[in-house]
Every structure is written in C-alpha cells, then in structure tokens.
Amino acid sequence: MVEDRKLLRNGLIIAAIVIVVRIVLEQIGAPEPVNMVFGVAWLYLIMPVLFGWSIASTHTAGRYKALFKDVFLFALYTRLMVAVTYMLAYLFRWSAPRFAESNGGPVGENISLLRGILLIPVLNAVTWIITATIVGMILGSIVLLLKRRPAAA
C-alpha cells in the first residue's frame, strides 16, 4: 500500500510539472505540436500501467479495487489541477487554442462568468475523469492479467 501511495504521489508531481510547463510553453507561443507533447492525457496511458505493475507485485487480494482507486484518484487530482488552469485562462484571457471558445474552452466573447469559471472546467473535468478511469482500468487490468503470480506448487 505504501508503494501505491508513493507512485500516486510521484505521478501527481509529474502531472503538476507537465501542466506548468505546458502553460509556460503556450504563453510564450510555442507551436501547438510542442504543446501537445506536454499534456496530462499521456499520463492517463502511462500511469495505469505503472499502477498495475506495482499492484501485481505487492497485492495478493483486492488488486482490481486497488487499481480502480489509484486510477480514479490520479484522474480526479490531475483534472482538478487542469480545471484550475481553465479558470485562470478565463480570468486572464489566455490565447492558447485549447482555451478558445471554438474548441470548447472558457475564453471567448460569448462566455459568461458562470460558464468560464465553473461550468466549462467542471464539465471538462467530469468527462476526462470518467474517460481516464475507464481507459486506465482497461490498461491496468491488462497488466494485472499478464503479470499474474504463478500458483503455488
């Protein structure tokens, strides 16, 4: 269990760094392909595999429950961090394409305070939390199935 918490904590630290780096790159006008490399969405593919590997190595019972907890918490916490960036984008009128009203973001002429600060960030977070949890459970479960402990002789 301690190993799971450490992995989750380290993953969240990496996610926070990725979020900050992306915002800085967007604000200095880096090309969009460069910005896309620094997205937490990539971590939704990597972290479940690491969670599955760690759980398969340490847990004997409740492996899928532990995987769900780790994947869900990782998605929840990272999306809360990203939601804050969407709120800041609305307040400071950031010009990055992902924040544009035309891309479903919170920055645009027709975006009210309620939509820009609450509705868009929350709906974005909920959508991503559900999607990341489903994808993470699939990937992590594959790892758990492939890394089964052999039966005792």
- pLDDT tens digit sequence for 91-111: 999 999 999 999 999 999 999
User: What gap in Å lies between CA 54 and CA 126, rounded to an integer?
Assistant: 27
Going by pLDDT thresholds of 50, 70 and 90, the confidence category of residue 150 is low
pLDDT digits (tens, 9 = 90+) for 123-147: 999 999 999 999 999 999 999 999 8
* Among 76, 121, 88, 107, residue whose Cα is nearest residue 20: 88
What tokens were used for 50? 């690491």
pLDDT digits (tens, 9 = 90+) for 85-96: 999 999 999 999
Q: Which residue type is seen at 117?
A: I
What pTM did the predictor assign? 0.93
* Among 149, 125, 135, residue whose Cα is nearest residue 47: 135
Cα 28 from chain centre: 23
